[in-house]
């Protein structure tokens, strides 16, 4: 029988308790981040930069495994995965979060932003901080706004040159009530659909058309199943990067800071690349044989007038105070 001093035994028990109570402090942290954007999209490229910056900042103690291009399901599934904690992060089109966080619809109004600079001035300021505060109850933490960009209409039926041309077109939209209501106001048959189903729906004629930034139209090869494209620019859209709130708050403060700093670098990179990719995409889509029509100032004015009352419905869902603040920020010079 081996006798041990009581103090020695107590110290062993205490050490074991610390080890079991604080496993995260003793082991490498590993997160999974999923996205529905193509590997070559600027947001997926930016997430690679985020991964590199984070692992460098933490000397390899915090690793993020990336799953772009719908490897872990569609956009809605990724949002749900972050909320439940089955994955820790996602980068996703903002519309897929609006049913969970209707306050985001305050940033979704038609013709709300006239430039990308104006749009990011709003999201990067107090409005972004307010939205992060409001979404906390949904179990997520907002880490940044990337650029999805101005959205444009494509279809397989006819060029869009007048408001009348929207009548009866079955147009796929993201599951965002503001987007859907806007296209109903234009006279289209608006259909909500996850992006993972869109290509086959266009190919089979389930829907006649869709709307997306040029970079998405190109990356997802919608030019193969669409004939006409118009630069309507009806919404300016964002990619939101979110994390499971419990997972984020469980990180040591140094790791939380590393996540935010690394994401800020990734967001800056993505916004710069998005501008270049958008311009390149227009040329590629035209080269693929899609008929491209520049919309007239009259059509834009008519679209604005047709969708002008959408703001009243958004106020009911997102809160009149928040909508008013967003509009006031957007109006600042």
Q: What global pTM score does this model have?
A: 0.89
Strand arrangement, sheet containing 291-293: 189-192, 170-173, 209-212, 152-155, 228-230, 291-293
| Residue 28's pLDDT band (cuts 50, 70, 90) | confident
Number of H helices, E strands in the chain: 14, 11
Residue-wise pLDDT tens digits, 76-116:
999 999 999 999 999 999 999 999 999 999 999 999 999 99
- Tell me if residue 211 falls in helix, strand or coil: strand
Structural domains in the chain (count) = 1
Query: Residue 189 has what pLDDT?
Result: 98
When the pLDDT of each residue in the chain is averaged and rounded to a whole number, the result is 92
Task: Report CA Rg, the chain.
Answer: 23
Does residue 89 fall inside a structural domain? yes
pLDDT per position as a tens digit, 257-277: 999 999 999 999 999 999 999
Q: What is the pLDDT of residue 136?
A: 92
- The CATH number of residue 296's host domain is 3.40.190.170
Residue 307 belongs to some domain of the structure: yes
Looking at the domain assignment, is residue 136 inside a domain? Answer: yes
Instruction: Give residue-wise pLDDT tens across range 13-24.
Output: 344 333 333 444
End-to-end alpha-carbon separation of the chain, Å? 83
Q: What is the pLDDT of residue 223?
A: 97
Helix axes 320-331, 126-135, angle to 10 degrees: 160
In the block, residue with structure tokens 């491209």: 292
**What is the reported pLDDT for 27?**
63
- d(CA 145, CA 140) in angstroms, rounded, equals 14
Residue 118 predicted with pLDDT over 70: yes
Q: What is the structure's pLDDT at 331?
A: 94
**Rounded distance between C-alpha atoms, residue 69 and residue 74, angstroms:** 9
Q: How many CA atoms lie within 13 A of 36 on its CB side?
A: 23
Report, as an integer, the average pLDDT of 26-39. 89
Q: With beta carbons less than 8 A apart as the criterion, state whether 107 and 228 touch.
A: no
pLDDT tens digits, one per residue of 206-249: 999 999 999 999 999 999 999 999 999 999 999 999 999 999 99
Q: What is the pLDDT of residues 156-173, one digit of tens each?
A: 999 999 999 999 999 999
- Compute the distance between CA of residue 197 and CA of residue 185 in angstroms, rounded to an integer: 24
- Two tokens at 27? 């082991």
Percent of the chain with pLDDT over 70: 92
Mean pLDDT, residues 162-187 taken together = 97
177 found inside a domain: yes
Whether 7 is covered by a domain: the verdict is no
187 occurs within a structural domain = yes
Percent of the chain with pLDDT over 90: 89
CA distances from 154 to 211, 212, 230 (A): 6, 8, 6
Helix (H), strand (E), coil (C) string for 65-120: EEECCCCCCCHHHHHHHHHHCCCCEEEEEHHHHCCCCHHHHHHCCCCCCCCHHHHH
Q: Is residue 108 part of a domain?
A: yes
Q: Is residue 84 part of a domain?
A: yes
Burial of 199 (C-beta count, 10 Å sphere; 0-12/13-18/19+):
middle
- What pLDDT score was predicted for residue 243? 98
DSSP class of residue 273 equals H
Instruction: Report which of residues 183 and 22 the model is more confident about.
Output: 183
Give whole-number Cα distances, 144 to 89, 239, 269, 278, 295, in Å. Answer: 12, 8, 12, 20, 32
Q: State the pLDDT at residue 333.
A: 74
Q: Please, which residues bridge with residue 144 across strands? A: 241
| Cα–Cα distance measured from residue 102 to residue 178, given in angstroms and rounded to the nearest whole number | 10
| Domain boundaries, position 250 | 28-331
């Amino acid at each position: 029988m081996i006798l041990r001093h009581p103090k020695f035994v107590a110290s062993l028990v205490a050490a074991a308790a610390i080890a079991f109570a604080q496993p995260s402090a003793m082991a490498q942290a590993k997160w999974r981040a999923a996205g529905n954007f193509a590997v070559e999209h600027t947001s997926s490229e930016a997430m690679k930069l985020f991964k590199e910056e984070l692992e460098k900042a933490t000397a390899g103690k915090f690793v993020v495994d990336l799953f772009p291009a719908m490897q872990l399901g569609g956009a809605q599934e990724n949002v749900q995965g972050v909320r439940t904690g089955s994955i820790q992060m996602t980068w996703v089109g903002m519309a897929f979060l609006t049913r969970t966080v209707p306050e985001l619809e305050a940033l979704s109004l038609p013709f709300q932003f006239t430039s990308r600079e104006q749009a990011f001035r709003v999201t990067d300021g107090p409005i972004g901080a307010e939205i992060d505060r409001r979404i906390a109850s949904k179990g997520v933490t907002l880490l940044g706004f990337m650029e999805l960009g101005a959205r444009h209409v494509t279809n397989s039926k006819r060029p869009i040159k007048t408001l009348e041309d929207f009548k009866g077109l079955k147009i796929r939209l993201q599951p965002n009530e503001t987007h859907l209501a806007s296209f109903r106001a234009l006279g289209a048959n608006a259909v909500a659909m996850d992006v993972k189903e869109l290509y086959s729906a266009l190919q089979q004629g389930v829907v006649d058309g869709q709307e997306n930034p040029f970079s998405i139209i190109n990356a997802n090869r919608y030019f193969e199943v669409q004939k006409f494209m118009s630069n309507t620019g009806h919404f300016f859209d964002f990619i939101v990067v979110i994390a499971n709130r419990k997972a984020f708050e469980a990180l040591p403060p140094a790791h939380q800071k590393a996540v935010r700093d690394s994401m800020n670098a990734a967001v800056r990179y993505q916004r710069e690349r998005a501008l270049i990719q958008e311009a390149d995409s227009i040329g590629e889509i035209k080269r693929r044989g899609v008929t491209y029509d520049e919309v007239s100032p009259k059509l834009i004015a008519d679209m604005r007038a047709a969708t002008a009352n959408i703001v009243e419905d958004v106020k009911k869902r997102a809160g009149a105070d928040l909508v008013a603040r967003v509009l006031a920020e957007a109006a600042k010079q």
